[in-house]
Chains A and B, each alone.
Chain A
Amino acid sequence: MTLNVPSTDAGVADVMAILVLLTEFAMLRAPLLRSQVRLYAFQSLVVTGLAIFVATSRHIDELYVLALLTFVLKVVIVPGLVMRLLPDADVDLAESSILGVASMVLVAIAVAAFAFFAVGSLHVHSVALPTSALAIAAAVVLVAFVLIILRADVVSQAIGFFSLENGVSVASLVVAAGLPLVVEVAFLFDLLVAVVVFGVIMRVHHGRANSLSTEDLDRLKG
């Protein structure tokens, strides 16, 4: 293992990426609908910051536009939409955990470690951001899976998917900073559509079951 001291730039970028990952961990135990949505908004904000950081340090002007769109969409519109579609903001989701919080964190740590080792074995080199950020992004994706699997409520599961997309965004900042803007915009637009659909189905579910739990979604088998 070589231990070069990363540059200040790389250090700041990595700290931001880690913040994204830590937010993902925080989602594992968020007790309220509102706190879950806020965590997502915060995570998106950090992703926005990371985009601006790459734009400044690598002089990629398109990323400013992307950062702006990310901010408007993921920090403002998506959380707003979710809150609007599910007005019961104080719903208690804490009981939806299948495991205790500490065990969940341990599982997620194991999964994140796997992501780190997997990416570490790839020898990826990036000009835009340190490679470790890619490992962190992969960890975000996998922890999002843990979140979705271990939380049995529709909000956590939906937010899990949205935050998974945040993880992929971080990855794209690392290895695909030059991705054409039109493609990025298409991705974001798709996310918006997905959010609306998630919201509609969540609302339908809430209307039918009068709860946000997925406990009773076990009728279809075989």
Chain B
Amino acid sequence: MPALLVVIIVLPLAVAVITFFSPVRLAKVITVISGVVTFGLALTLIPEVVTHAQLREGSLLRIDSLSMVFLVATSFLYATTAIFAAGYLHLGQGKAGTRYGRRFYAGLNLFCWSMAAAPLVNGLALLWVAIEITTVVSALLVAIDDTDGATEASWKYVLIASLGLGIALFATIIMYYAGTTVFGSAYNLSYGKLLSGASHFSPDVVRLAFVLAVLGYGTKMGLFPVHTWLPDAHSEAPTPISALLSGSLLAISFYAILRYFQIAVRTIGPTFPRNTLLIFGIASLLLAALYLLSQRDLKRLLAYSSVEHMGILAIGMSFGAPVAVVGVLLHVLAHAAAKGTAFFGAGSVVRKFGTKDLGRIRGGIGALPWSGPMLVAAVLALSAMPPFGIFRSEFLIVSGGLSDSRDTVAAALVVLVTVAFFGLSWSTTQIMLSPDVSALPAGSAGSHPLSKGEVSPWIVVSMVIGLVALAILGVHLPSQLSQLLDHAARELGVPKR
């Protein structure tokens, strides 16, 4: 079974190469196939990981319950985004369109490959390499539309994210240094080794490495105050890329922080890492909630919602109760599904109305009979409405906080999430449900009634899959998955000395 790891890491890469040279029509099909196959393979790995705790292939590839969670999230979005992109992409005729299509599909596959590789590689150094690759590939994908906005967003993104990763590289080096006191001057940074020796590392050094890692990878995760690239990149990128950025890339960066967290709690105990994450989490959540209230751009709205959810993840980790950690990991999965679906819906709306401006979109449900209501559902899911997965995960996080007697923080969390809920759902319901087309200024896209009908059936399919997954996560967790989450939470816990 470990050979599957090799398949997962080779398949998207091979597909990326093929799609760069094949006709666009073929590229669409094999990207969908590759996405679905990767997701299927990831699912078949779950029972294996649950029984064996970890699988290794050579010295470079390794998967355990923790990385499995993130692999599932990434591969799920890979599959759904591939389906969505098939319907979303409207390529111009002729050479320009073909070139765009090739670049887009090659980039998409490469991006998903790098994000799938991050949880699969064994060691902090390789993890950094994988995440750096996600940055450079996604920066090109953000710039692919070649508009002024896209250029600006991609420049900010590549610069800020690279700086963050520069800090993360520093963190890697410092962590390596922490290990030299135990393992001698030459060793590799594999997780098993680091975790086994972590209790003997120098606390000061590990503390520094952890803070640098939170700051560095936090930049890519979108934590305040280093989130500034995020709304720009999410709003200017092509919508499939936005979905991947938001649902998967941010989660992968969170995964990197968790790896450092895992080592840090073994060396310096849980208090310091938890408090660090708490500060960043609360600040991010607060900022995002406020920005959500006054947002005028549909995709930026969803981007700030991502900042909000990353803040929730960080706060959840700060609670430390096992149930909260389970909630955090479930939240990663549910957020991937919900945010992906919401972006797909947003993509559908943007295609239909030709604008992202919330003030100029009205009557969405009427124009988009399927994806309209599903977008509303996805947004409600993002706002933690039952019966969807995020409701369950946030419930677990809050109850974990209460059981850990962090009542104040838990209360703050609930309040801020409610504020965010208002911002998010107010804007969405307005564009979707309000039929008042005449109130719009003349000449805007919504002022003349649009024909009723979907942009593409592929978009509807991708959204249905997302909502079904959300419902499964919310209503009834498959037993294998819930075992996986329990194991992963145990891996993140503080070991008994």
Contact with B along A101-145 (1 / 0, CB 8 A): 000000000000000000000111011100000000000010011
- Interchain CA distance A122-B151 in the complex, whole Å: 41
Q: Is the CB of A204 within 8 A of B173?
A: no
Contact check, B188 vs A180: say whether CB atoms are below 8 A apart.
yes
Known: A198-B158, A222-B291, A222-B300. 18 other contacts (CB 8 A): A154-B155, A158-B159, A161-B163, A161-B166, A165-B166, A171-B174, A175-B176, A176-B177, A177-B185, A183-B125, A183-B126, A190-B129, A193-B133, A194-B162, A204-B154, A205-B155, A217-B152, A219-B149
Which residues of A have CB within 8 Å of B291? 222
Chain B: minimal CB distance from A208 (Å) = 6
Judging by beta carbons under 8 Å apart, are A161 and B184 in contact? no
Q: How many of A's residues come within 8 Å of B, CB to CB?
A: 47
Question: B177 touches which one: A157, A175, A204 (CB < 8 A)?
Answer: A175
Chain B positions 159 through 172: 1 when the CB is less than 8 Å from some CB of chain A, otherwise 0:
10011001101100
User: Using a CB-CB cutoff of 8 Å, which residues 194-249 of chain B contact chain A?
Assistant: 204-205, 208, 231-232, 235-236
**Among A122, A178, A186, which residue has its beta carbon within 8 angstroms of that of B204?**
A122
Which of B81-89, B139-147, B417-425 sits within the interface? B139-147
Q: How far is the CA of A143 from the CA of B367 in the complex (A)?
A: 54
A15 interface residue (CB < 8 Å to B):
no
Does A200 reach chain B (CB closer than 8 Å)?
Answer: yes
Q: Does A220 contact B (CB under 8 A)?
A: yes
Which residues 134-182 of A have a CB within 8 angstroms of B?
A: 141, 144-145, 148, 154, 157-158, 161, 164-165, 168, 171-172, 175-180
Q: Is the CB of A201 within 8 A of B153?
A: no
Tell me if A12 is interfacial: C-beta within 8 Å of chain B.
no
Q: Do A201 and B143 form a contact, CB below 8 Å, given A164-B163, A186-B129, A187-B129? A: yes
| A141 contact set on B, CB distance < 8 A | 166-167, 170
Judging by beta carbons under 8 Å apart, are A148 and B163 in contact? yes
Taking Cβ atoms with an 8 Å cutoff, the residues of A that contact B are: 122-124, 126-128, 141, 144-145, 148, 154, 157-158, 161, 164-165, 168, 171-172, 175-180, 183, 186-187, 189-190, 193-194, 196-198, 200-202, 204-205, 208-209, 214, 217, 219-220, 222
In the complex, the answer to whether B169 meets A197 with C-beta atoms within 8 Å is no
Q: What residues of chain B lie closer than 8 Å to A201, measured between beta carbons?
A: 139-140, 143, 151, 154-155, 158
CB of A171 within 8 A of CB of B173, answer yes
Contacts of A144 in B (CB 8 A): 166
**Nearest B residue to A171 by beta-carbon distance?**
B173
- CB pair B231–A222 under 8 Å, yes or no, is yes
Q: 10 nearest interchain CB pairs?
A: A178-B186, A178-B185, A175-B177, A197-B136, A183-B125, A220-B232, A176-B176, A217-B152, A190-B132, A164-B166
What are the residues of chain A within 8 A of B296 when measuring CB–CB? 222
- Structural contact, A220 and B153, CB atoms closer than 8 A: yes
Among B166, B170, B208, max chain A CB count under 10 A is at: B166
Tell me which residues across on chain A come within 8 A of B154, comparing CB atoms.
201, 204
Chain A residues with CB under 8 A of B128? 187
Q: Inter-chain contact count A-B, CB under 8 Å?
A: 131
Asked whether, in the complex, the Cβ of B158 is within 8 Å of the Cβ of A197, the reply is yes
B156: interface (CB < 8 Å):
yes
Q: How many residues of B contact A (CB 8 A)?
A: 52
Chain B residues within CB distance 8 Å of chain A: 125-126, 128-129, 132-133, 135-136, 139-140, 143, 146, 148-149, 151-156, 158-159, 162-163, 166-167, 169-170, 173-174, 176-177, 180, 184-189, 204-205, 208, 231-232, 235-236, 291, 294-297, 300
Contact: B140 with A217, CB < 8 Å? Answer: no
Query: In the complex, what's the smallest C-beta–C-beta distance from A81 to chain B, in angstroms?
Result: 14
By the criterion CB–CB under 8 Å, are A183 and B166 in contact?
Answer: no
The complex places the Cα of A154 from the Cα of B167 at a distance, in Å, of 20
Contact A168 to B159, CB < 8 A, known contacts A123-B204, A220-B232: no
- B-chain residues with CB within 8 Å of residue A126 when the two chains form the complex: 177
Q: How far is the CB of A70 from chain B (nearest CB, A)?
A: 15
Question: Judging by beta carbons under 8 Å apart, are A176 and B180 in contact?
Answer: yes
Instruction: Name A197's contact: one of B139, B151, B204 (CB within 8 Å).
Output: B139
Report A126 CB to chain B, min CB distance, Å.
8
Residue of A nearest to B157 (CB): A201
Inter-subunit contact B177/A124 (CB<8 Å) = yes
B148 CB → nearest A CB, Å: 6
Given A122-B205, A222-B295, verify A183-B189 contact (CB < 8 Å). yes
Establish whether residues A204 and B151, one from each chain, have CB atoms under 8 Å apart when the complex forms.
yes
Min CB distance B153 to A, Å, is 6
Query: What are 7 A-to-B residue pairs whose CB atoms are below 8 Å?
Result: A165-B166, A168-B169, A197-B136, A219-B152, A220-B153, A222-B294, A222-B295
> How far is B216's CA from A168's CA once the two chains are assembled, in angstroms?
13
